[in-house]
Amino acid sequence: MSESVIIYDTTLRDGAQSEGVSFSSEDALEVLKRLDEFGIDFVEGGWPGSNPKVDEFFRAAERVKLKHAKLTAFGSTGRPGIPAEDDANLRNLAACPVEWCCIFGKSWDFQVTNALCIPLEDNLSLIRNSVRFLKDSGKRVMFDAEHFFDGYLSNREYALSALKAAADGGAEWLVLCDTNGGVMMDDVAGAVEDVLLSFDVPIGIHCHNDSDLAVANSLVAVDRGATMVQGTINGIGERCGNANLCSIMADLALKMEYELNIKDMGQLTALSSFVSETANLAPSPGMPYVGEKAFAHKGGIHVSAIAKDSRTYEHIAPETVGNKRRVLISDMAGRASISEKLKDFGIDVGSDESKAIVDRIKALEAEGYQFEGADASFELLVRRFRGEMESPFRVTGFRVFIDNVGDKLTSEASVKVMDSKGTEEHTAANGDGPVNALDNALRKALSKLFPIAGDIRLTDYKVRVLDERSATAASVRVLIRSTDGKRSWTTVGVSENVIEASLDALVDSIEYAIYKNAEG
């Protein structure tokens, strides 16, 4: 199949409507540049005049030399009773320094009569006149038919008449929107086929994910003839999100053999991570193609099979989308899992040695340790087991104090550490809790002996009670994720004392950083 599909990204507008997401104008510029470098065809920048950040972004974007993407302004049809040339929204769109505008209008008769509260014919005039005004202002226009599928199922003739009004006004794309995200695939397929038989204008699809069908509906629409897909990176967006372009682009290019203008699909995972970080969202590990779990294998039989041929349990090679295979180490693991995992660390382990490591891991997991999400602790365990490294320091003593000052609890920790040469440091630090205070004191002491310790910060901290029946005497497992700004890693500690479990994980985290820093 050689048909081409246009990708329209609305991360900066529709994606920014996701709860907890707010892009600064600087953030938006960086996202625009990355989307352009990746090969996205259209990037929707926002609604001119909606807030100062958006206007600042469009002004700054004028100075960015885009290699491929066409920056697009978003807005709505004009307001009822106001001539198009006098409508503030349309005037802002006309003045925006971009070639393309995308405006939405009502295509569901229920929305026209119950939300706009105007006659159905007046809405058609709004659509036609709004598009024509922007065309006369020198803009190229797309029309997003809001609630199109709901409208089509309710009143086919009126939904099509809304598209005709946009086409008569000069719209160059008619985009069919599943705004409420509740339409089924068969309905999308039938409507797209009908629209294509009714109009010569190219058709696009814009789906929301309220029924978990946004990706599927987008692919069905393309299969039936739509040539543009609108969506967001990682599927972020209002309510349950928008169609996830990461999955859609991979499916279209790798599974359905459509042509995209993407320069290197191997950069897909990096793009996904970049947008998550910029939006200050934790990446969703279970996302297809780009998630951390997408190519993670835990069962020993699975790992043994992929070691022989990855096609046994992987639908594509992870490198195709810039991801990587992960072999998870757990009490389900066999020697094949261990051997595959050790290859990640450049360690060649013989059969007898791998059996000994498996036995050691299973013994530790019986105590409550878990290594499938703690690669750093696992690598340290193996290197210590093989005699390849010794701990560069040891904690010779620590204390944690919790005081009630007024109506507020304060925490302070003091720590004594000694390096392998016998040099000792003793220091104290405050924190927002006992673990935070201990972390601050430990890194403060060690940074004098190992400067890299001062660059480490915690990004995640999880505590799991291992035996609820033991109540407050239960053992706990602590997982800590750390970063030095260049790489991230996870370590684990287990104890009946949450402070001790936390300290074990913290010590592993710093030892790992010191080891990797020395390794270069």
Question: Could you read off the pLDDT of 365-421 as tens digits, one per residue?
Answer: 778 777 766 788 888 888 888 788 888 999 999 999 988 877 788 899 999 999 988
Contact criterion met (CB below 8 Å) for 140 and 112:
no
Q: Which helix (H) or strand (E) holds 306?
A: helix 300-308
Q: Where are the alpha helices (DSSP H) in 199-242?
A: 214-223
User: Given this model, what pLDDT does residue 1 score?
Assistant: 47
What value does the mean pLDDT take over residues 187-208?
Answer: 98
Cα-based distances in Å from 316 to 50, 307, 413, 420? 43, 15, 49, 47
Length of the chain: 520
More confident position, 451 or 310 = 451
3 state DSSP class of 296: strand
User: Given this model, what pLDDT does residue 305 score?
Assistant: 72
Q: Which two tokens stand for residue 1?
A: 């199949």
E-strand ranges in 355-466 read 393-405, 408-419, 424-431, 457-465
pTM across the whole model: 0.70
C-alpha 321/C-alpha 267 separation (Å) is 6
User: Given this model, what pLDDT does residue 279 score?
Assistant: 86
More confident position, 433 or 122 = 122
Which of these ranges, 178-187, 211-220, 230-239, 439-448, has the smallest mean pLDDT?
439-448
User: Given this model, what pLDDT does residue 186 score?
Assistant: 97
pLDDT > 60? residue 473? no
User: Given this model, what pLDDT does residue 458 score?
Assistant: 84
490-494, long-range: CB within 8 Å, 24+ apart, which pairs? 490/373, 490/374, 490/375, 490/376, 490/377, 490/460, 491/374, 491/376, 491/377, 491/380, 492/369, 492/370, 492/371, 492/373, 492/374, 492/377, 494/367, 494/368, 494/369, 494/466
User: Given this model, what pLDDT does residue 241 score?
Assistant: 96
C-alpha 496/C-alpha 477 separation (Å) is 9
User: Given this model, what pLDDT does residue 338 score?
Assistant: 65
More confident position, 303 or 482 = 482
pLDDT > 80? residue 467? no
Residue range 217-260, pLDDT digits in tens? 999 999 999 999 999 999 999 999 999 999 999 999 999 999 99
User: Given this model, what pLDDT does residue 520 score?
Assistant: 65
3 state DSSP class of 311: helix
Question: What does pLDDT average to over the chain?
Answer: 89
Contact criterion met (CB below 8 Å) for 148 and 177:
yes
User: Given this model, what pLDDT does residue 344 score?
Assistant: 66
User: Given this model, what pLDDT does residue 151 score?
Assistant: 97
User: Given this model, what pLDDT does residue 301 score?
Assistant: 63
DSSP state for residue 368 in the 8-state scheme: T
Quick one: what percent of the chain has pLDDT higher than 70?
90
User: Given this model, what pLDDT does residue 41 score?
Assistant: 98
Residue range 91-146, pLDDT digits in tens? 999 999 999 999 999 999 999 999 999 999 999 999 999 999 999 999 999 999 99
Who's near 358: CB < 8 A, 6+ residues apart? 333, 334, 335, 338
- What domains does the chain contain, in order, with CATH numbers? 6-278 (3.20.20.70), 296-363 (no CATH), 393-519 (3.30.160.270)
Residue range 164-179, pLDDT digits in tens? 999 999 999 999 999 9
Contact criterion met (CB below 8 Å) for 296 and 286:
no
- Tell me the backbone φ, ψ of residue 409, rounded to 5 degrees: -85, 135
Residue with tokens 């397929």: 189
Q: Which two tokens stand for residue 504?
A: 């074990």
Who's near 315: CB < 8 A, 6+ residues apart? none
pLDDT > 60? residue 334? no
Quick one: what percent of the chain has pLDDT higher than 90?
60
pLDDT > 50? residue 318? yes
What value does the mean pLDDT take over residues 474-492?
Answer: 84
User: Given this model, what pLDDT does residue 388 score?
Assistant: 82
C-alpha 1/C-alpha 381 separation (Å) is 50
C-alpha 176/C-alpha 206 separation (Å) is 6
User: Given this model, what pLDDT does residue 282 score?
Assistant: 75
More confident position, 312 or 505 = 505
User: Given this model, what pLDDT does residue 213 score?
Assistant: 98
User: How many C-beta atoms surround the C-beta of residue 138 within 10 A?
Assistant: 8
